[in-house]
């Protein structure tokens, strides 16, 4: 089974990399929903948040906080984790969305 995010992490598919270390990668979303829309994911494949340990999810949040600070999102930002078909997940590789640079409403969807 092919996973587009695994292929991006392995540099088999090009992407605009916003940040990277040995275990995680952050890329620019190709269909941005805000001026800042970055996808942050572990390079190791986890199907969704249900499969990942809390330390993995915590590290994703830490990376999002760092990227938000670096991009001047001091007025606020949104972090989204979609899980399962009813949660809006379309790519089954754990990732979070960092969105910012514009006001957001509530409820989100």
Instruction: Please identify every residue annotated as catalytic.
Output: 95
Largest Cα span, the chain = 41
- Based on the number of CB atoms within 10 Å of its own CB, is 36 exposed (0-12), middle (13-18) or buried (19 or more)? buried
Alpha-carbon distance of 36 to 97, in angstroms, equals 10
Q: What is the CA radius of gyration of the chain?
A: 13
Do 78 and 102 contact (CB within 8 A), yes or no? no
DSSP 25: E
């Amino acid at each position: 089974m092919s996973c587009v995010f695994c292929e991006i992490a392995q540099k088999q598919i090009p992407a605009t990399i916003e940040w990277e270390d040995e275990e995680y990668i952050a890329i620019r979303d190709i269909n941005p929903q805000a001026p800042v829309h970055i996808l942050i994911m572990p390079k190791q494949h986890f199907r969704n948040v249900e499969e990942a340990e809390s330390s993995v999810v915590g590290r994703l949040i830490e990376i999002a906080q760092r990227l938000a600070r670096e991009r001047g999102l001091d007025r606020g930002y949104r972090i989204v984790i979609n899980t399962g078909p009813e949660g809006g997940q379309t790519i089954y590789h754990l990732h979070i969305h960092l969105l910012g640079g514009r006001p957001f409403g509530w409820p989100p969807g």
